[in-house]
């Protein structure tokens, strides 16, 4: 067989196409691989997002802030008294403005507003209070939003807040208890 004959024969062989079965199998395998990789990527992304939300989402950070705020305010409050709503929707504690205050002259009131227009919010109202219990100037701050429910309880010198936050996609429950330390 001459060289020319061999080239013609080889040329015929390499120009031969894939059969439809080969293409189908190859496409199926490729599709499966692609789907697998896609599923892994999507699942990984979801896991990442879930973990991110667990740490940094608004609900989680709000719950963290709410717990710390309640804790800090109650710990510095006067242990002589605490006012609680029978339904547990608000709690009011009293404290000294500073170390030089001779009497309890400030109050802080935590209250939960379940207004559906605002989506449920926890507020804290700070203000002055005279020795005979008359309240003066006050200011209100929003502690957190997306509040599903919030109840306050008291026992002796301790107060407790049970706060549930829910933004529709994530839910967080905060149970913060603190003891009132001041005279």
Binding site for another protein (CB under 8 A): 3, 6-7, 10-11, 14-15, 33, 37, 40-41, 44-45, 47-48, 51-52, 54-55, 72, 75-76, 79-83, 96, 99, 103, 131-133, 154, 156-157, 180-183
To the nearest whole angstrom, how small is the minimum distance from the Cβ of residue 53 to another protein?
A: 10
The smaller minimum CB distance to another protein, of residues 78 and 120, is found at 78
Residue with tokens 């309640």: 70
The smaller minimum CB distance to another protein, of residues 14 and 116, is found at 14
The smaller minimum CB distance to another protein, of residues 116 and 156, is found at 156
**What distance in Å separates the CA atoms of residue 145 and residue 122, rounded to the nearest whole number?**
6
Q: Could you tell me if 127 and 106 are in contact, meaning their C-beta atoms sit under 8 angstroms apart?
A: yes
To the nearest whole angstrom, how small is the minimum distance from the Cβ of residue 157 to another protein?
A: 6
> For 174, what's the count of Cα atoms within 13 Å in the CB-facing half-sphere?
31
To the nearest whole angstrom, how small is the minimum distance from the Cβ of residue 93 to another protein?
A: 10
Q: Which residue, 69, 149, 146, is CA-closest to 109?
A: 69
To the nearest whole angstrom, how small is the minimum distance from the Cβ of residue 161 to another protein?
A: 16
- Count CB-CB contacts under 10 A for residue 171: 13
Q: Could you tell me if 77 and 182 are in contact, meaning their C-beta atoms sit under 8 angstroms apart?
A: yes
């Amino acid at each position: 067989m001459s060289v020319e004959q061999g080239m013609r024969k080889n040329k015929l062989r390499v120009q031969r196409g894939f059969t439809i079965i080969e293409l189908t199998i190859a496409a199926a395998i490729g599709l499966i691989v692609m789907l697998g990789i896609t599923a892994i990527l999507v699942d990984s992304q979801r896991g990442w997002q879930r973990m991110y939300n667990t740490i940094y989402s608004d609900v989680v950070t709000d719950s963290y802030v709410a717990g710390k705020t309640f804790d800090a305010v109650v710990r510095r409050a006067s242990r002589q008294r605490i006012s609680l709503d029978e339904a547990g929707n608000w709690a009011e504690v009293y404290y000294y403005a500073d170390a030089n205050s001779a009497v309890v002259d400030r109050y802080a009131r935590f209250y939960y507003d379940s207004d559906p227009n605002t989506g449920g919010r926890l507020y804290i109202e700070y203000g002055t209070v005279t020795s005979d219990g008359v309240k003066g100037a006050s200011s209100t701050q929003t502690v957190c939003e997306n509040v599903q429910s919030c109840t306050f309880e008291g026992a002796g010198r301790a107060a407790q807040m049970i706060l549930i936050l829910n933004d529709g996609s994530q839910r967080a429950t905060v149970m913060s208890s603190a003891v009132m330390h001041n005279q």
